[in-house]
Amino acid sequence: MTALEAREKRKAQTRERILEAGGQLLLNDGFHGFSMRKLAAKVNYTATAIYSHFPDKDALLGELVEREFIKFRRAFDLTSKIADPIERLAKKGMTFVEFALQQPDAFKFLFMNTQIEAFPKVGLIERGNPAQDCYAYLRSTIAEALAAGRFRPELSDADMLAQIFMSGVHGIVSLHIARGKDPWVKWRPVRQRAKLMVEALIRGLTLPQDERPESPPDTIGTIRI
């Protein structure tokens, strides 16, 4: 059995080598320049050899995208400590922005990619999907603020609110990446834009301080200092 296991291990290693080289290729040549033959050359294989490790190009690209997502989630995790849910939400938004600015290539093919529509059918969705977790983090933060009665009374849908908030910061950075060099726009510094977006959305969606309930709606009757 050790012989079989050794073979499996070797296969896993070449698979890993392919993914590693694929990540580099994607970083250097972008989606447009990525090809199976180029990738194969990087690992000294024929293009067809890759097909014994991945069903097709899209599946391979999907897996590469997943790996970038995992890096992203790691950055996102660090914002979980902040006590106030609205402050935490703001911080998460700025983390999203910072990730996009520091890893623009990863961001491009995670959030501005129009080629790979959905993630691969199998695999990703089963074991906890990192992107799913990111959205789930955002949503749970909002749900917490919602439970504390921080949002305006007509807004009670955590998914809707999470999507609005995410769209806001996403819009800032994706427009910056796509059209941030257009000479006919007097672009303001992108981080200032992001900050104002977060502030404006929070002000537009939450209750002002003097209208907040003393106790959150789901804990009425309990003491809260």
Which residues are near a copy of itself by CB under 8 A?
30-32, 108, 111-115, 117-119, 125, 129, 131-132, 135-136, 155, 157, 159-160, 163-164, 166-172, 174-175, 177-179, 181-188, 192-193, 196-197, 199-205
User: CB under 5 to 8 A by kind: which of a copy of itself, DNA, none does 49 bind?
Assistant: DNA
Amino acid at 58: D
Q: Which of 1, 122, 223, 225 binds DNA (CB under 7 A)?
A: 1
Q: Residue 217 CB, nearest distance to a copy of itself (Å)?
A: 21
For DNA, the closer of residues 8 and 218 by Cβ is: 8
Query: By CB under 7 A, what part of segment 21-40 binds DNA?
Result: 34-38, 40
CA dist., res. 122 & res. 66, Å (int): 13
CA dist., res. 221 & res. 216, Å (int): 10
| Residue matched to tokens 């790691």 | 74
Residue 186: helix, strand or coil by DSSP?
coil
183 conformational bin, left if phi > 0, alpha if psi -120 to 50, beta if neither? alpha
The verdict on 9 binding DNA (CB under 7 A) reads: no
Q: At what angle do helices 57-77 and 85-102 cross, to 10 degrees?
A: 130
Q: Residue 133 CB, nearest distance to DNA (Å)?
A: 29
User: CB under 5 to 8 A by kind: which of a copy of itself, DNA, none does 58 bind?
Assistant: DNA
For a copy of itself, the closer of residues 81 and 186 by Cβ is: 186
Q: Following DSSP, what letter does each residue of 178-215 receive, concatenated?
A: HHTT-TTS-PPPHHHHHHHHHHHHHHHHBPPGGGS-SS
Tell me the two tokens of residue 113: 């990619």
Q: Residue 18 CB, nearest distance to DNA (Å)?
A: 9
From 49-57, 64-72, 131-139, 177-185, give the range in contact with DNA by CB under 7 A.
Answer: 49-57
At residue 114, φ and ψ (nearest 5 deg) are -105, 5
DSSP structural state of residue 48: G
Beta bridge partners of 206: 151
122 conformational bin, left if phi > 0, alpha if psi -120 to 50, beta if neither? beta
Angle at 29 between CA 25 and CA 35, to 5 degrees: 65
User: CB under 5 to 8 A by kind: which of a copy of itself, DNA, none does 114 bind?
Assistant: a copy of itself
Query: By CB under 7 A, what part of segment 64-123 binds DNA?
Result: none
User: CB under 5 to 8 A by kind: which of a copy of itself, DNA, none does 70 bind?
Assistant: none
- The binding site for DNA (CB under 7 A) comprises 1, 3-4, 6-8, 11, 14, 34-38, 40, 44-49, 51-53, 56-58
